[in-house]
Each structure stands twice: as structure tokens, then as C-alpha cells.
Amino acid sequence: MSGKFKYVPVRAVLLFFLCVLLSAVDAFSQQRSAGFCGSPLNDLYILLKKEKFQLKCYNEPGLAIKNAAPGSGVFIVADGYPKQGKVIKAGDLLIAKRKRLRLYVEYPNSLAGLNISDTVTKTKLERGIITSGVFGEQLKPMSLLGINDCHFFKVKVQHPLIVIGKVAGFSKAEYGIDDIETNPLLFHHDGMLVAMTKLSNFATGRYEPQDSWMSVMEYVVSWVADMKDFHFNQRLAYVSPMYAENTPLPENARKISIEKGVKWFYNGRFFIDSSWKNMMLKYQGDGSNPFGPPVSQSLPNGDGSLGILEGHASTIYFDGTQQYRYWMRADVQGESAYALAAAGSYLHKEEYYKVAANLADYTFYNSNLRGGAKNDKDSSAYGLIGWAVTHPGVFYEDDNARFLLGMIGASAYMNTDKWNKEIAEAIMGNFRTTGKQGFRGICLDEKDIQKLGWKHFWDSDLVNPHPHLESWIWACYLWLYDKTGYEPLLTKTKNAIRMTMEAYPGNWKWTNGIEQERARMVLPLAWLVRVEDTQEHRQWLDRVVSDLLKNQDASGAIREELGDPSKGMYNKSLSNKEYGLHEAPLIFENGDPVADMLYTNNFAFFSLNEAAHATGDKKYIAALNKLADFLTRIQVKSEQHKDLDGAWFRAFDYKRWDYWASNADAGWGAWCTLTGWTQSWIVTTQVLVQQDQSYWELTKRSKINNQMPQTVKIMFGNEVK
């Protein structure tokens, strides 16, 4: 080599690199620092500390501004939300401007240069709408944000980043925002970033979707801390799925799911106790608006003798608590009794049996659900079960069917024949008000039944290929036929099933989606194979199951799907104005990655188990186990909200792995729970799957045939052979 190597001492090299490292650390420290005016319990504060931010904390905006270094950032959050807006003095704003501070200000009730309203506006169905491209490709303009129980001050500004308004859509405002009133929520003003509500309440207020909110807060932090493209490495959530999508499940995960699922009935204080019965009656009212705040954790649980509440509505308050549905429905009583009895058997906890038995006694003997004309042998309404204590003379056959299936299952687990008389009478009470083609319609009213007589309905020519409303009462008829051999049950049911399958899929009616209709139809088809195992019956079953499973995701979730709009009872919102006016699907269009645990996945879970055991089909078994694991993973986990821990919400976005969907069906929307429809069928089917058993096998030893001769005599006399 022509050049000479110059020796540099190792100590000098190490010293040089140490200086570089310390400079980098110092730069990182300065970069990840800011002033913070607000409580250390604030969600943003907690998350920033997790990200190793150096935060200088102050109680007053003026102090935070005065002590901030020139050119630095300050977060001023709304501790008094929603009762108190933030007050920032004009003089402090002048100081901030001179020092070139980057201020993030939340919920100001006055701010220099802005004409802010004197009163707070509270939202109900409105959602946040992205109106700028600053949040990146993952959160484009017209993307939607859930801001629960949002309180805000109205103001008019140009070019807001986020506005709030009532719009239709699943993940974006499908009809735009030109036809609705909108109000700014986040915008830049005079060198500040201003939020007219408390955006930093994202975890406490359970704002959804979480990934979208992280994008919003990353923009806020990037701007305040002057950090380009800042990204959070961690999340903060007080309600989350039990397991991540790809985390291997523990060996005992399904058992834990059952334990938590049944404990949730108690965590939620859903069993009415005499000490707070009057509060329940107050909120229940006449049943038209049975909503109220959550039952306090300080109140005692009842023992089932006064019944069980429905669960949560889909309304979440700003503090993360959730509205309750204070309503006493018969179906919920029977379904919950089934869940308690199943869990009692599986977990060897006989104390659950007592509560289950009390729920049954309450419905049959100690309420108006089976009282009055329904308990008069000379009445055409004899044997029927009222819809709810506020509507004891309304009879939905599907609600009767689920109540009855719950009671049959509970009886089997508790090895009792105590309610066989009432069960037989209820099935046959429904049967004799079913038309000659095997259909019964949406619901019947006691006044009409009494006026027209049961034979009027028995002789009707009604045709109604609508499985959500019709199919599970057919399952009850097939079950009772198998136990008694009473031929009319089979003949009429087979005819209705045949006509329904001939109408599939183009002429099926659907309620909130076509996929739920398939899920409901699987059960009677599986039990038809049980009583008549023919090639045609197996083909019917396989056709519906195969179509159902076309929408099963790799995660195990069964995706919602809309049918022919002309056949839908509750279709998607056709305009922004229509959003929230009636029951509605969770999706806006087919392909939206949403699983529904109120109408589809819950019932598909139970039905697939019956189909798998009836046929031994490996495809059904594989799908069943995938669905079982999915439901195990998405069960709610929450230390902060005990009334939610162990529940299943109605909606789950399996792509985001988050609780998100359209909340147009506000009462039964994305975050509702139900002690009956949802919780009970998932818990009980988890038990059946764990024990490799079907409901059909579980209940095969029923002695209900002992009640059949007398029941037929009472119901039909000599009019029907």
C-alpha cells in the first residue's frame, strides 16, 4: 500500500462513538418530550408514557404554556369533560404564539378568534367523519369513527380534519355528507390543533375502531411533538377480545370460555333482586323504551325467581359504561336457564341448577307469561308463552321455540320432568295455530286468537318461506314427533320444509341478512335427517350448510351477507336520513368483514353441531371447530367493566380484529349483548362441543310422551285425528 495507516487509540474510538450515542439519546429524549396539562389518568398521557415520552405535567394551561420551551409542544386535554369545557386565557395564547408553541387543545368553550357556542351538543347516532387526507392511506376522507356519547361545542371553521354527523355506512360515509348537518371536531386554528370534544378519551370512552383512532392520535402526537410519521408501538384498551387472532389457544381455552360465559350472568347483575325490582320496573315501563343505566355492582344479584334481564343495549357512555335493556322476555328466561344448567353440568356446579329452575318456574308459574287465557284449557291461546311481561298477549313462534328448546335442554341437564306438561302444551299450542301448509307467520295476537279461534289459523293457507321466523318451531315439532310419534307434527313440518327449500334461495324472505336465514334453517334440516334419513333430506341440509360455509373466514367467523333487497325485512340504510330509524344489518354491502353473534354465528354454532352429529360429515365438523375457536377468541375481556367481562358483543370485524360495524340498529347494534339469543346459545354449544355431544342425544331420554295423550285431547278434542 502506498499510504500509511494512522493508528488511532481504541479509547478515542470508544469515546467518539459514546458521544454520538449520547447525542442520539439526547435528541431522542428531546424529540419525545412535551408539556402536558391534564390528569395522569388521561388515556393519551398513559399511552405516551408507555411510549417513553418525557412529559412535564401541569394543572393549568397557563403554567404549561409559561414553562414550555420555545418551539416545543403542549397537550391541553379536557379533564372536566363533559361537564366543563377548557378555558384558556387570551394572554396565555399570546405567550404561546410568541414562543411558537404547538398546542393541542381539547373541548374549549372559548378560544380567541373562534365563535364557539355557549351550550354543549350531545350526539346519539352521529359518528366522526374524516374530511382530510392528513391521516394517511389507512384513514382516507369519508372514513368513519365511533365516538361514543360525544359531547362537543359547535363552531364554524374552514377545512376541518374531522367532522361529526349522522351518516350511513360500515367503514365510510357511503352517501357523502352534503345532505347532512356536520360540525367540526378537529381542525387547525391560528397555529393550534383544536378538538371540540375529548379525543384523548379514546380508551376510556371505548372509541372504535381502535386502529383508526391510533391513526388519529398518531397525527396529533406527530404534530404536537414535531415528529414526522410517529407511530404507536403499543395500544391502550379497556375492553378487548380474549385472544389475538393468531395466538395459539391454551388447551383449556374453551373451558375458560364457558366459565367466563356463565359467570357473566352474575357479573352483569342481570338476575333481578327484590331490593332493586322497582328500579327495573321504572326503566322497563311499557316496554317501548326499556333502557337505563347499568345496574350498580354494589347491588345484589337475584336468584332467578324474579327473572333475568335481556342484557346491554348498544349505547356506550363517555365513561365506557354501557346502557342496559330493562325488559323481561320469555325467550331469554328459557335460554338463560339452558345455559346455566349446561354450565352447571359441565363445571359440576349444582348452584347453577337452582337459578335455572327458578327462571323456569318464574316463566311458567309466577309471571303473566303463561297466565290468564294462556292457562285456560278452554281458551284458543292455551299453552302459548307470552312474548314479554309488557306484552303477554303477543306470540312470536320463534321466541316460543327458543324458550322451549332452552327449557327442554335445561330439563335434560337437570334430569327432571317437572316442566314436561307445560313444554308439551306450549309446542302443541303453537302447532294448532300453525296453518295447513306448516307456516305460522310473524306473530299472533291473543285478541285475534280468542276472537277467531285456533281452527281459523289451523286451516289457513299461509306460505312464509322465512326461516328466521319459522324454522325453529319446526325443529320443536320434529323433536316432539321423535319422542311421541304424533304423525301430524311430521307431516305438516315436512311440507313446510319442502316448500321452503323449493323457494331457496331466490324467494326466501330475510330479516337482517340472508346468512342468518341459512343459519336458522340448518337446525330443522339436521333434525329432519334424524327422523327421516333420506338422500333428499341430506341434500337439502348440505345445500344450505355449504352455502352458509362459503362465507366462513379462515378465522372461523361466518361473514354476514345481504339478500335480494326486495325480500328483506330490515335492509341497509338507503340514505343518511334513514340511518338509525329501524332495525338494520351490521354491514352496508356484501364483503364487509363482519360476524354477527346475535343473528348468525350464535345460531349457526348450535345448528352446525346438530348437523355434524346427524351426518358425521367431516366438513361440518371442521367448520364447527373453527367457529368454536373464533367465538372463544372474541369473547370480551375487561377488568374495568365487570358487566362486560365474559360477554359476546353482537358485532366483530374479523379483519380489524375489533368490535366494529354499522350501528344503524341502535338498540340492537354493534355492541349489544343478550343473555338469551347470544350468550346462551354460545355457552351451551361450547359445552356440547366439549363433550362431543348433540342436543338431540342430550334430550333423547325425555319422557314427554307421558304428557302427549292428555295434551292432544285438550288441544284438539275430536276435531283432529
Task: Give the tens place of pLDDT for each residue, 275-315.
Answer: 999 999 999 999 999 999 999 999 999 999 999 999 999 99
3-state helix, strand, coil in the chain (%, to 5): 45, 15, 45
- Could you report the per-residue pLDDT of 364-385, keeping only the tens digit for each? 999 999 999 999 999 999 999 9
- Could you report the per-residue pLDDT of 633-688, keeping only the tens digit for each? 999 999 999 999 999 999 999 999 999 999 998 679 999 999 999 999 999 999 99
Q: Exposed, middle or buried by CB within 10 Å (0-12, 13-18, 19+), for 337?
A: buried
Rounded Cα distance, 559 and 587, in Å: 10
Identify whether the C-beta of residue 523 lies closer than 8 Å to the C-beta of residue 610. Answer: yes
Rounded Cα distance, 674 and 270, in Å: 10
Q: Strand 192-195 vs strand 151-153: parallel, antiparallel, or unpaired? A: unpaired
Task: Give me the amino acid identity at 703.
Answer: K
Identify whether the C-beta of residue 44 lies closer than 8 Å to the C-beta of residue 217. Answer: yes
Place of cell 323457494: 503
Give every CB contact of residue 89 below 8 A, 6+ residues apart in sequence. 61, 62
Residues 15, 19, 24, 26: what is their CA dihedral angle, to the nearest 10 degrees? Answer: 130
User: pTM (2 decimals)?
Assistant: 0.94
Residues 22, 28, 29, 30: what is their CA dihedral angle, to the nearest 10 degrees? Answer: 110
Per-residue H/E/C for 6-59: CCCCHHHHHHHHHHHHHHHHHHHHHHCEEEEECCCCCHHHHHHHHCCCEEEEEC
Domains along the chain?
34-237 (3.40.50), 253-716 (1.50.10.10)
Mean pLDDT of all residues in 18-24: 38
Residues 132, 136, 137, 138: what is their CA dihedral angle, to the nearest 10 degrees? Answer: -100
- Could you report the per-residue pLDDT of 115-134, keeping only the tens digit for each? 999 999 999 899 999 999 99
Q: Kindly report the average pLDDT of the chain as a whole number.
A: 94
| Band (9; pLDDT cuts 50, 70, 90) | low
- Could you report the per-residue pLDDT of 605-631, keeping only the tens digit for each? 999 999 999 999 999 999 999 999 999
Identify whether the C-beta of residue 684 lies closer than 8 Å to the C-beta of residue 338. Answer: yes
